[in-house]
């Protein structure tokens, strides 16, 4: 049994609530933590290939509770990996969630919410057997059948299928490359002679793509598909640029297995444990509810799994591929601490990663983003889940492109990219 600490709730796009009939009943338990049979537990999932989040609303009905424990059972191989606003554990297919110190009291007629995140190979449909403090909820009666004269006006469904059925076999959200990339691959073309863009402040990597001569990125950049390739493409564009006459264009397709990136061939090993990046980016489509990734860096201290910057629930987020931890947490309060990446204009995206201190900071157009800051001290709704384990990254590369784990498609441009040991600025 794995005990999980509090962690984000998603803003649900695909609402597949387990509707239930609330039938008033007599409390089966007594004392301040009792629950009436009229209790209700609404489970609203958001699912993508291989993973899911769910928001759970607890309503005790006409009996107040001063502490709560909610349980339910999965029909498939779902495994909860994180929770927020509750202490969550799982044994076999049964999940148990207990209140935190700040949300244990629920008045009669009131409710509270918590959430979970997890993975699956083959989902088994909607969970069943919801109970609050040991009392069956959602219209499920006691073990003794009710009198035949008591007929509910509407019978609750035993299960409610999600709005979109998961694939029978889902690929993992990310898979490490079959062979690690070389640390210092030799350039295929001579070093560029075009002066770097202004404002690079002595950065190790400073590229406005002006040295690119063909339609496919080459020289200091190579096109890669770390997990699998599909409809996504990476080209050199001369019509939409931030400065100069060239930029990288990514046509990002929706759905898993359309991953495409350009990876720098520069040796970034001399940057040390602290690195700053400045990337000008432009895109056309607002960030979707589904998880997407735009920028990744391989972490040698985390099994060469990627540290990823992208979005979820309509706002920017960092994501750790090894355990799917997010910054900020995907609770409504957490997502509100981030910002969406503006569309149809160039935006200056900066970040700093301090591997020795395990810290991360992010700026958009020169303004620090609170929800994209891991300052070393776990903060509920922001970096509480990020620090569920010791994090000391050793980043080795930089990749710009697009991954989608759901329905998100986008067209992006990258230009005037820089990375160094001090902040570069916009």
**Which residue pairs from 152-160 have beta carbons closer than 8 angstroms and sit at least 24 positions apart in sequence?**
152/21, 152/23, 153/21, 154/21, 155/21, 156/19, 156/20, 156/21, 157/18, 157/19, 158/128, 159/18, 159/75, 159/125, 159/126, 159/127, 159/128, 160/16, 160/17, 160/18, 160/19, 160/125, 160/126
How would residue 82 be classed by pLDDT, with cut points 50, 70 and 90? confident
Looking at per-residue pLDDT, the higher value among 345 and 164 belongs to 345
Q: Indicate the pTM of the whole model.
A: 0.59
Q: So what's the pLDDT on residue 141?
A: 57
Kindly state the average pLDDT of the residues 102-108. 91
410 lies in a domain? yes
CATH number at residue 352: 2.60.120.200
Torsion from C-alpha of 390, 392, 398, 400, nearest 10 degrees: 20
372 lies in a domain? yes
Range name among 248-257, 372-381, 414-423 with the lowest pLDDT average = 248-257
Tell me, yes or no, whether 218 and 124 share the same domain: no
Domain with 323, as residue range(s), is 205-420
CATH number at residue 70: 2.60.40.290
107 lies in a domain? yes
Tell me, yes or no, whether 117 and 218 share the same domain: no
Residue closest to 366 by CA, chosen among 291, 423, 297, 303 = 423
Tell me, yes or no, whether 120 and 222 share the same domain: no
Q: What percent of the chain has pLDDT over 70?
A: 77
Tell me, yes or no, whether 380 and 287 share the same domain: yes
130 lies in a domain? yes
For 70, the token pair is 């909610």
152 lies in a domain? no
Tell me, yes or no, whether 329 and 235 share the same domain: yes
Q: So what's the pLDDT on residue 74?
A: 94
Q: Based on the structure, what is the number of domains in the chain? A: 2
Residues near 73 by Cβ (< 8 Å), separated by ≥ 6?
Answer: 93, 94, 95, 127, 128, 129
Q: What is the pLDDT of residues 31-65, one digit of tens each?
A: 335 555 689 999 999 887 788 888 999 999 988 99
Kindly state the average pLDDT of the residues 325-333. 94
Report the C-alpha gap between 196 and 190 in whole angstroms. Answer: 15
Range name among 137-151, 300-314, 324-338 with the lowest pLDDT average = 137-151
């Amino acid at each position: 049994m794995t005990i999980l600490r509090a962690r984000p709730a998603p803003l649900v796009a695909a609402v597949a609530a387990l509707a239930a009939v609330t039938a008033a009943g007599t409390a089966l338990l007594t004392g301040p933590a009792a629950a009436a049979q009229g209790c209700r537990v609404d489970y609203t999932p958001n699912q993508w290939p291989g993973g899911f989040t769910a928001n759970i609303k607890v309503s005790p009905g006409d009996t107040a509770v001063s502490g709560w424990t909610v349980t339910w059972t999965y029909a498939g191989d779902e495994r909860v990996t994180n929770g927020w606003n509750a202490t969550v554990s799982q044994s076999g297919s049964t999940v148990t969630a207990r209140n935190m110190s700040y949300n244990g009291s629920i008045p009669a007629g009131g409710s509270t919410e918590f959430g979970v995140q997890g993975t699956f190979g083959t989902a088994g449909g909607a969970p069943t057997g919801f109970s609050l403090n040991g009392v069956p909820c959602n219209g499920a009666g006691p073990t003794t059948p009710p009198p035949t004269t008591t007929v509910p006006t509407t019978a609750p469904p035993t299960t409610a299928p999600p709005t979109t059925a998961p694939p029978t076999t889902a690929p993992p959200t990310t898979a490490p490359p079959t062979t690690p990339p070389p640390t210092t691959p030799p350039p295929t073309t001579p070093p560029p002679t075009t002066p770097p863009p202004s404002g690079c402040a002595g950065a190790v990597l400073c590229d406005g793509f002006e040295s690119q001569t063909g339609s496919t990125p080459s020289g200091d950049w190579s096109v890669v598909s770390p997990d699998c390739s599909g409809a996504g493409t990476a080209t050199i564009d001369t019509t939409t640029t931030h400065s100069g006459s060239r930029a990288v264009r990514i046509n990002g397709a929706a759905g898993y297995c359309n991953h495409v990136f350009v990876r720098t061939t520069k040796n970034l090993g001399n940057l040390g444990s602290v690195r700053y990046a400045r990337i000008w980016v432009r895109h056309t489509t607002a960030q979707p509810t589904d998880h997407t990734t735009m920028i990744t860096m391989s972490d040698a201290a985390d099994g060469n799994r990627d540290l990823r910057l992208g979005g979820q629930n309509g706002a920017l987020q960092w994501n750790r591929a090894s355990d799917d931890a997010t910054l900020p947490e995907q609770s409504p309060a957490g997502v509100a601490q981030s910002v969406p990446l503006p569309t149809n204009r160039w935006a200056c995206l900066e970040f700093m990663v301090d591997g020795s201190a395990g810290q991360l900071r992010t700026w958009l157009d020169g303004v620090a983003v609170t929800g994209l800051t891991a300052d070393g001290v776990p903060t509920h709704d922001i970096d509480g889940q990020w620090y569920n384990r010791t994090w000391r990254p050793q980043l080795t590369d930089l990749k710009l492109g697009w991954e989608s784990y759901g329905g998100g498609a986008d067209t992006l441009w990258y230009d005037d990219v820089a990375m160094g040991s001090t902040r570069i600025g916009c």
